Amino acid sequence: MTLRRGRTLALLAVLAAVPVLVGIAVRIETGDGSGPGGGGGPAFLAQITNNGLFLVFAALSATLPVFLPMAVGVVAGDSVAGEASGGTLRYLLVAPAGRTRLLVAKYASVLVFCLVATAVVAVSALAVGAALFPVGEVTTISGTRIGFGEGLLRAGLIAVVVAASLTGFAALGLFVSTLTDSGIAAMAATVGVLITVQILDTMPQLEGIHPYLFPHYWLSFTDLLRDPVRWDEIVGNLGLQAVYAAVFGSAAWARFTTRDITV
């Protein structure tokens, strides 16, 4: 049901358009003879003209800080509150499934959206990159070269890691969704928390708390393009997301199972 909603399809369409715009912009810039990319674009932008596979990495780097989590925030924030505002939550709870099972199903649907949204960005970027630029061996961050097949495998693994990086924020959005009967308010609050935390993560005065903020290690997926792969920050990121998912998932369960449903 989540993937059939018009709003969800619109979000996926916007995400799919980002790699298209990036690829066309790089292609036009290269055609003008001004050189690829530069220092001001997403990571891996300068390498796209040599290998279209790098558009996958650049697109994920560009969408992960803002577009992907905002889309997840909209879906997660609306997961429970949207049912309440639409007047269907009370009827769902009449079924013998129970509140816990309903909440787990809601969170599972948000996690599926995380994976689908990331896959949409990656597949769109791969198609555009292959259409506009040559593809072949991949030069890693460490300077070594790997085959296209292994590069494609690492791109798939990066997409999975990016989707997993959103699981903690998805649980936070689910918790916010249990606090209100307004879907719009829940979506706005979830996105507001995202923006606030990302601002905090850029303030050097708060450096001590940065490792505990859920978006701090989001870009650690770039270590998958090293040879050998550096797993420390990737594992730390996944562990941090698991902690956020456990804390806010438990908070959402505690709130939802004791909540009076009036609408």
- Read off the pLDDT of residues 109-152 as tens digits, 9 standing for 90 and up: 999 999 999 999 999 999 999 999 998 888 888 888 889 999 99
What residue spans define the domains of the chain? 6-257
**How far apart are the two ends of the chain, measured CA to CA in Å?**
21
Q: Across residues 239-263, what is the average pLDDT? A: 87
CA distances from 145 to 86, 134, 138, 148, 226 (A): 54, 16, 6, 9, 10
Instruction: Specify the pLDDT at position 37.
Output: 45
pLDDT of 46 reads 74
- pLDDT tens digit sequence for 182-203: 888 999 999 999 999 999 999 9
**Contact call for residues 103 and 81 (beta carbons, < 8 A):** no
* Greater model confidence, 132 or 38: 132
Q: What is the pLDDT of residues 153-167, one digit of tens each?
A: 999 999 999 999 999
Nearest to 222 by CA among 148, 162, 135: 162
| pLDDT above 80: residue 218 | yes
Between CA 230 and CA 90 the distance in angstroms is 48
Compute the average pLDDT of residues 47-73. 90
Assess whether pLDDT exceeds 60 at residue 168: yes
pTM: 0.88
Contact 27, 132 (CB under 8 A): yes
Residue 161, token pair as written in the block: 């890691």
